[in-house]
Amino acid sequence: MGAGGFVRRRVVSPVVDLLKQGVTPEKIALSMIVGGALGVFPVLGSTTILCTLAAFLLRLNMPAIQIVNYVVFPLQLLLLIPFARFGERIFHANPIPFSASEMVAMFQSDFLGSMNALWVTGLHAIVAWCVFMPPAAVFAYLVLVPGLRRILARLWRADSP
């Protein structure tokens, strides 16, 4: 089974099941958007806790938010460096080296300075995420809600005699 089968089984089917249970397209879309946005937060190991807190605080659908969180994990890894670079530009900071050999050399020459540089770069990435994510989330919500409404309308037509 390919990637399409995985996405259909792990993402599409649960969303359709939620729609069949009466969860509104707006609530599902918000759960998915928050799961996706928090799922790419540039601090590894933080997203499950962030998504759980968001689900409780915003009364979102926990399965939907966590499914999307786990599905976007590869995207989180891919976006770590772009968020760091964007943050460095925001703060006009010198870019930290990300190649393995340059990082090893950096740590060998000044371990504490290197830890500080990584910490600051992490903060830059978080700020970049905070700048980028709100407009991206609004755009995704505006695209996702009509799509979920169409799916719900199709489900209603299929269930009608």
Mean pLDDT throughout 35-58? 96
Range ranked top by mean pLDDT from 8-22, 40-54, 98-112:
40-54
Question: pLDDT digits over 62-111, tens only?
Answer: 888 999 999 999 999 999 999 999 999 999 999 988 888 988 998 999 99
- pLDDT grade, residue 53 (50/70/90)? very high
Supply the pLDDT for residue 43: 96
Supply the pLDDT for residue 99: 85
| 3-state SS, residue 78 | helix
Mean pLDDT throughout 123-143? 97
Q: What is the DSSP letter of 12?
A: I
Q: Which two tokens stand for residue 5?
A: 């089968």
Supply the pLDDT for residue 161: 58
Instruction: Give the closest residue to 139 by CA, choosing from 55, 57, 37, 54.
Output: 37
Q: Does the pLDDT at position 16 exceed 80?
A: no
